[in-house]
């Protein structure tokens, strides 16, 4: 007596194609990232452009057009990366430029203070 459960002869026969075709993965639309870039770190309106592509990707995903949703999702991700990088790197670059400018000006001020505190001796006045 076979005690395996469920009996294999009562299982419905699945075709080979049904077994191998997994459900297609839907592309991400990056909508939250786009909203964040639009509201908080909108560098050259790249966050708004990313938001537009994110909405298009979500619309195409809901409509069932996976290929168009993937294209729009890819563009939204690219613009989000550019907006985030630009919004993080430009303030850091500005801080670096200000720090180097302050260091340079402090050295220049020290050198000019030394120039203006030069005292002329009495030997310079007695050339006659």
End-of-domain residue from the set 10, 45, 61? 61
Give the total number of structural domains in the chain.
2
Tell me, yes or no, whether 11 lies in a domain: no
CA separation for the pair 100, 37 (Å, rounded):
29
Q: pLDDT of 11-49, one tens digit each?
A: 555 555 555 556 568 888 899 999 999 998 777 889 999
71 with 47, same domain? no
Per the model's pLDDT, the better-predicted residue between 73 and 27 turns out to be 73
pTM of the model: 0.61
Containing structural domain, residue 57: 31-61
Let me know if residue 25 belongs to a domain: no
Distances (CA, A) of 28 to 18, 50, 72, 82: 25, 13, 10, 18
**pLDDT at residue number 90:** 87
If asked whether residues 53 and 75 sit together in one domain, one would say no
Residue 2 included in any domain: no
pLDDT of 117? 72
Residues 77, 113, single domain; the answer is yes
Q: Does one domain contain both 36 and 80?
A: no
Given a contact cutoff of 8 angstroms between Cβ atoms, the answer to whether 84 and 44 are in contact is no
| pLDDT at 22 (0 to 100) | 60
Whether residues 79 and 38 share a domain: the answer is no
Task: Round to whole Å and give the CA distance between 45 and 69.
Answer: 22
């Amino acid at each position: 007596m076979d005690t395996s459960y469920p009996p294999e002869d009562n299982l419905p026969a699945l075709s080979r194609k049904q077994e191998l075709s997994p459900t297609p993965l839907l592309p991400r639309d990056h909508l939250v990232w786009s909203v964040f870039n639009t509201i908080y770190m909108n560098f050259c309106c790249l966050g708004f452009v990313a938001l537009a592509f994110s909405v298009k990707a979500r619309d195409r995903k809901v409509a069932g057009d996976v290929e168009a949703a993937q294209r729009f999702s890819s563009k939204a991700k690219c613009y989000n990366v550019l907006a985030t990088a630009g919004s993080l790197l430009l303030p850091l670059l500005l801080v670096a430029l200000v720090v180097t400018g302050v260091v340079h000006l402090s050295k220049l001020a020290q050198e000019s203070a030394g120039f203006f505190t030069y005292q002329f001796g009495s030997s310079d006045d007695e050339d006659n």
